[in-house]
Structure 1
Amino acid sequence: MRLGQNFLIDERVASRQVKYANLKKDDVILEIGAGYGILTKKMAKIAKVIAIEIDERFIESLEKIPNVDVIHADALKIDFNELDFNKIVSNLPYQISSPITFKILESEFELAILMYQKEFAARLTARPGSKDYSRLTVMAHYKADFELLEEVPPEAFRPIPKVASCIVKVKPIGRRFDVDEKIFERVTKAIFMHRRKKIKNALALEGMPSHVPYGDYRAEQLSPEQIAYIAKFVSEHGLV
Structure 2
Amino acid sequence: MRISEILEITRKYNVTPRKRKGQNFLVDERVANREIEYAQISKEDTVLEIGPGLGILTSRLVERAGRVIAIEYDRGLAKYNRERFGNKLELIEGDALLIPFPAFDKIVSNIPYNISSPLIFKILEHRFKLAVIMIQKEFAERMVAQPGDKRYSRLSIGTYYRADCELLEFVPRSRFWPAPEVDSMIIRLVPRDPPFRVKDEKSFFELVDLLFKYRRKKIGTVLRMSGIDAKSIEHLPYTDRRVDTLAPHEIGILSDVISSFTSLEKESDRRSL
Shift of 1:23: 0.9
Q: How many corresponding residue pairs?
A: 238
Residue 90 (structure 2) aligns with: 69
After superposition, the CA RMSD in angstroms is 1.6
Name which one, 1 or 2, has greater alpha-carbon Rg. Answer: 2
Q: Residue 57 of structure 2 aligns to a residue in which SS? A: helix
Tell me which residue corresponds to 2:112. 93
Question: What secondary structure does 2:140 align onto?
Answer: helix
Give the CA deviation at 1:226. Answer: 1.1
Q: Does 2:214 match 1:190?
A: no
Deviation at 1:174, TM superposition (A): 3.9
* TM-score normalised by L of structure 2: 0.83
Q: State the 1:150 CA deviation.
A: 1.1
Q: Residues of 2 paired with 1:7 and 1:207: CA distance?
A: 47
More off after superposition, 109-118 vs 171-180: 171-180
- Aligned position for 1:102: 121
Among all aligned residue pairs of Structure 1 and Structure 2, give the percentage whose two residues are the same amino acid: 47
Moved over 4 A (4+): none
Cα deviations by residue, 1:177-223 (Å, 9 ceiling, x for unpaired): 32212211122122221222211111121123523111111111111
Instruction: Return the letter of the residue paired with 1:72.
Output: E
Q: Map 1:178-217 onto structure 2 (within 5 A).
A: 178-179=197-198, 180-208=200-228, 209-210=232-233, 211-217=235-241
Structure 1: distance between partners of 2:246 and 2:258: 16
2:262 partner SS: coil
Q: Is the 8 A contact 2:144 2:159 kept in 1?
A: no
CA shift at 1:237, angstroms? 3.0
- Alpha-carbon shift at residue 12 of structure 1 (Å): 0.7
Q: What is the match of residue 227 of structure 1?
A: 251
What residue is the counterpart of 2:270 in the other structure?
none
Indicate whether 1:111 and 2:135 are aligned: no
In structure 2, C-alpha distance between the alignment counterparts of 1:94 and 1:174, rounded to whole Å: 28
Q: Which letter maps to 1:181?
A: E
Q: Deviations over 1:149-174 (max 9, x none)?
A: 11100011111011100011111124
1:238 positional shift: 2.4
1:9 corresponds to which residue? 27
2:48 alignment counterpart: 30
Counterparts of 1:105 and 1:31 in 2: how far apart (Å)? 15
Measured after TM superposition, the shift of residue 176 of structure 1 is 3.9
Structure 2 residue ranges without an equivalent (≥5): 1-16, 266-273
Q: Does 1:79 align with 2:100?
A: yes
User: Equivalences for 1:119-130 in 2 at 5 Å?
Assistant: 119-130=138-149
Q: CA deviation at 1:117?
A: 0.5
What do residues 40-94 of structure 1 show as CA deviations (whole Å, max 9, x unaligned)?
11111111210111111222331232521111111111111xx121100110011
Gaps of 5+ in 1: none
What amino acid is aligned across from residue 94 of structure 2 in structure 1? A
Q: Distance in 2 between matches of 1:75 and 1:173?
A: 23
What's the counterpart of residue 165 of structure 1? 184
Residue of structure 1 in register with 2:196 after alignment: 177
Structure 1 contact 187–203 (Cα < 8 Å) conserved: no
8 Å Cα contact 2:218-2:241 kept in structure 1: yes
Q: Which residue of 1 aligns with 2:268?
A: none
1:15, 1:162 → 2: CA distance? 24
Structure number having the greater helix percentage:
2
Q: Which residue number corresponds to residue 55 of structure 1?
A: 74
